[in-house]
Amino acid sequence: MRKWILALTLLLPGMAFAAGGGIELLQANNDLRDKASLQAGAKLFVNYCMGCHSAQYVRFGRVGKDLGLTDKELRENLMFGAEKVGDMMTIAMDNKDSAKWFGVIPPDLSVISRARGVDWLYTYLLTFYLDPSRPMGVNNLVFKDVGMPHVMWERQGWQKPVYETVTDAGGKTHEVIKSVELIDKADEAKAEQYKKDVRDLVNFLDYIGEPAKLERLDLGWKVIGFLFIFLIFAILLKLEYWRDVH
């Protein structure tokens, strides 16, 4: 048993590394309890992502309730069409059209945070870089030859790849992309803000991946609170019993 646990702990970091395709993932450090961040993320999601991606297992009304929005705020901030509060977050784009435009169908993002992990999503959204050889003009550090355009480029500024020379086992040298950097240094302040935006967006994707997680976190604190109060009574009871013994 112990050997198994040891083997697993040794494997885990390797798996995280493999998921990034050899690139170390950036840390999202998102906080599901931060309602303001979730609200900002939801807004970015409907504005920038729902043109192509749905979240078909998520209901607008549920999001509004969990994020502490009134129906009016929900309608004004997150809903633009003729949707009703009880509707799912689906989109109008036809799969045939998207396959024609992008070569692939943009996947539903309801549970993408569970499939990819928050750090991968954070890194993905931060590492689009210019690549004229690609149909969309961009490529991505953790999703090679991605079919998605850099939809939030105006919020970040364009990036270019930074190369590194590596020597393979046969003694040959190759140029590989190590990281990305801003092309125009004047975009630095904007790019810093973009990191915060992406953290909010990833936070929202994390939340929709498992809406019950919010309740679970909340319940966890309540249980700890209960146990603490119980502990006080247990101590009082113990003192009471032992008074007679002494």
Q: How far is the CB of 167 from ligand HEC (least distance, A)?
A: 31
One of 25, 38, 69, 146 touching ligand HEC (CB under 6 A): 146
Residue with smaller CB distance to ligand HEC, 105 or 214: 105
Strand duo 128-130 + 138-140: pairing = antiparallel
Binding range to ligand HEC, per CB under 6 A, among 102-110, 161-169, 175-183, 234-242 = 102-110
Pull the structure tokens for residue 110: 């309801």
- Of the candidates 73, 129, 115, the residue with the CA atom closest to the CA atom of residue 205: 115
| Joined tokens for residue 176 | 């590989």
The reply to whether 152 sits near ligand HEC by the rule CB under 6 A is: yes
70/193 with CB nearer ligand HEC:
193
**By the rule CB under 6 A, 52 interacts with ligand HEC:** yes
In the block, tokens 């364009």 appear at 158
Q: Which of 6, 11, 12, 51 binds ligand HEC (CB under 6 A)?
A: 51
Question: Judged by CB under 6 A, which stretch of 107-115, 157-165, 173-181, 185-193 contacts ligand HEC?
Answer: 107-115
What are the residues whose beta carbons fall under 8 Å from the beta carbon of 200, sequence distance 6 or more?
30, 37, 38, 40, 41, 44
Total residues at interface with ligand HEC (CB under 6 A): 21
- Give the up-direction half-sphere exposure of residue 16: CA atoms within 13 A in the CB hemisphere: 15
DSSP state at residue 118: H
DSSP label at residue 171: S
Q: Which of 214, 209, 231 is CA-nearest to residue 33?
A: 214
Is position 104 an interface residue for ligand HEC (rule: CB under 6 A)?
A: yes
Q: Are 74 and 84 in contact (CB under 8 A)?
A: no
Residue 137 engages ligand HEC in binding (rule: CB under 6 A): no
Under rule CB under 6 A, residue 135 binds ligand HEC: no
Q: Which residues bind ligand HEC (CB under 6 A)?
A: 48-49, 51-53, 102, 104, 106-107, 109, 112, 116, 121, 124, 146-149, 151-152, 201
